[in-house]
Structure 1
Amino acid sequence: MQLVVARIGRAHGIKGEVTVEVRTDEPELRLGPGAVLATDPASAGPLTIEIGRVHSGRLLLRFEGVRDRTAAEALRNTLLIAEVDPAEHPEDPDEFYDHQLMDLDVVLADGTEIGRITDISHLPSQDLFIVERPDGREVMIPFVEEIVTEIDLEKQRAVIAPPPGLIDESEAARDEVADGHSASGRDEN
Structure 2
Amino acid sequence: MPKDQRPPVPDKTQLRVGRLVKAHGLKGALKLELYTDDPDGRFVPGAVFTLQVPESSPWHGKSITVREFRWMNTHPVAFFEGVDDREAAEALVRAILWIDQDAEASAPEDDAWYDHQLVGLDVVRDDVKVGRVIRVDHFPAQDLLIVRTDSGEVLVPFVKALVPEVDVAAGRVIVTPPPGLFEELPPSEDDETPDAATETRA
TM-score, L = length of structure 1: 0.71
1:119 and 2:108 matched: no
What letter corresponds to residue 140 of structure 1 in structure 2? L
Asked whether the equivalents of residues 105 and 116 of structure 1 are also in contact (C-alpha less than 8 Å), the reply is yes
Task: Report the 3-state secondary structure (helix = DSSP H, G, I; strand = E; otherwise coil) of the residue aligned with 1:148.
Answer: coil
2:47 maps to which of 27, 35, 42 = 35
- In the superposition, relative to structure 1, how do residues 121 and 58 fare at CA in structure 2: closer, same or farther (>3 Å)? farther
Within 2, Cα distance between the matches of 1:26 and 1:97? 17
Task: Report the 3-state secondary structure (helix = DSSP H, G, I; strand = E; otherwise coil) of the residue aligned with 1:168.
Answer: coil
1:98 and 2:115 matched: yes
- In the superposition, relative to structure 1, how do residues 112 and 9 fare at CA in structure 2: closer, same or farther (>3 Å)? same
Task: Report the 3-state secondary structure (helix = DSSP H, G, I; strand = E; otherwise coil) of the residue aligned with 1:8.
Answer: strand
Within 1, Cα distance between the matches of 2:161 and 2:31? 33
Within 1, Cα distance between the matches of 2:139 and 2:163? 17
Gaps of 5+ in 1: 177-182
- In the superposition, relative to structure 1, how do residues 161 and 74 fare at CA in structure 2: closer, same or farther (>3 Å)? closer
Give the match for residue 199 of structure 2.
Answer: none
Asked whether the equivalents of residues 38 and 80 of structure 1 are also in contact (C-alpha less than 8 Å), the reply is yes
Give the match for residue 75 of structure 1.
Answer: 92
Gaps of 5+ in 2: 1-12, 194-202
Asked whether the equivalents of residues 89 and 96 of structure 1 are also in contact (C-alpha less than 8 Å), the reply is no
Identical positions, percent: 39
Provide the aligned C-alpha RMSD in A: 3.1
Equivalences for 1:14-163 in 2 at 5 Å? 14-22=26-34, 24-25=35-36, 28=39, 31-39=43-51, 40=53, 43-44=58-59, 45-85=62-102, 89-90=107-108, 92-108=109-125, 110-133=126-149, 135=150, 137-163=152-178
What is the deviation of 1:48?
0.5
Bigger CA drift: 58-67 or 146-155? 58-67
Asked whether the equivalents of residues 8 and 75 of structure 1 are also in contact (C-alpha less than 8 Å), the reply is yes
Bigger CA drift: 140-149 or 41-50? 41-50
Task: Report the 3-state secondary structure (helix = DSSP H, G, I; strand = E; otherwise coil) of the residue aligned with 2:120.
Answer: coil
What is the deviation of 1:157?
1.0
